[in-house]
């Protein structure tokens, strides 16, 4: 070994090129060892440690201009600087993990648009007896709601989670999904609207499904976009929603009106 390793061996040990080691020497980050009797510069443990320190800090994102003073600082300052570098690395790691998770979510259209809680609820709905078109309509409504009222969407999901545990609520909403195929003048629409409104009034926690998002909108337009998404004017579904809202308003529940601003 002749009291050390060559520059090529030192570079391989640290994981850099010989050119990089020479660059470190040029910047004064690592002192060049003396030549031995054969004319070779031999790197001992002290030089190798310094190379490892410089390489590690540089790989962690510390600018080369800051590495020298950092390594030459006293123990307390060096420890504080290392803690700061570690904090920055942790932030970068968390950001990269978030980006990776986003890439994974792109493979699933629902998860690219909705949080996992919402996707889990959509996946539960078929098991509760909701037809595929009702699940798809719910998904569209939730995507729109999250886009228009993001600050209230998490609370909204909590209200929906609790409501789906109530068989009476589930039965009424399933009936509402069936009503979309009825004629707009079907007398059953008014009966169903009354039953739904009465259920909401008797269950204030579930009423928040209707009032929670609209309370966070500064304009009625956004509320109507969410409430009537995908429903044609004059359809059975649109008439049913209008009747439920009218009954809730008559009971003192505040809901934006179609012509309000």
Query: Nearest Cα to 234, choosing from 187, 192, 194, 184?
Result: 184
Per-residue pLDDT reduced to its tens digit, 29-58: 999 998 888 888 899 999 999 999 999 999
Q: What's the pLDDT tens digit per position in 215-254?
A: 555 444 444 544 544 455 568 888 888 898 889 989 998 8
pLDDT of 221 reads: 44
Q: Cβ distance 193 to 240 under 8 Å? A: yes
Which pair of structure tokens corresponds to residue 122? 């959509």
Alpha-carbon gap, residue 193 to 172, rounded angstroms: 9
pLDDT 10s digits, 147-190:
888 888 899 899 999 999 999 999 999 998 888 889 989 999 99
CA distances from 35 to 2, 7, 13, 20, 45 (A): 11, 11, 19, 19, 16
Structure letter (DSSP) for residue 35: B
CA atoms within 13 A on the CB side of 49: 4
pLDDT range class, residue 1, cuts 50, 70, 90: very low
């Amino acid at each position: 070994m002749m009291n050390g390793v060559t520059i090529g061996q030192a570079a391989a040990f640290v994981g850099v090129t010989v050119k990089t080691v020479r660059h470190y020497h040029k910047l004064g980050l690592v002192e060049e060892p003396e030549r031995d009797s054969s004319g070779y510069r031999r790197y001992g443990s002290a030089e190798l440690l310094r190379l490892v320190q410089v390489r590690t800090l540089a790989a962690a994102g510390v600018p080369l201009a800051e590495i020298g003073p950092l390594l030459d600082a006293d123990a307390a300052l060096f420890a504080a600087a290392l803690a700061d570098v570690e904090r920055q690395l942790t932030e970068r790691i968390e950001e990269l993990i978030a980006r990776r998770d986003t890439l994974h979510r792109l493979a699933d259209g629902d998860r690219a648009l909705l949080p996992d809680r919402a996707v889990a609820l959509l996946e539960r709905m078929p098991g509760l007896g909701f037809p595929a078109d009702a699940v798809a309509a719910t998904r569209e409504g939730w995507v729109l709601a999250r886009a228009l009222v993001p600050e209230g969407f998490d609370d909204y999901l909590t209200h929906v989670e609790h409501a789906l545990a109530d068989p009476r609520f589930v039965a009424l909403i399933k009936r509402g999904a069936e009503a979309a195929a009825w004629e707009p003048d079907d007398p059953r629409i008014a009966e169903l609207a009354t039953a739904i409104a009465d259920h909401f009034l008797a269950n204030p926690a579930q009423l928040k499904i209707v009032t929670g998002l609209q309370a966070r909108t500064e304009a009625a337009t956004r509320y109507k976009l969410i409430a009537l998404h995908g429903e044609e004017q004059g359809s059975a579904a649109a008439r049913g929603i209008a009747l439920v809202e009218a009954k809730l308003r008559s009971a003192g529940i505040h809901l934006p009106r179609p012509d309000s601003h």
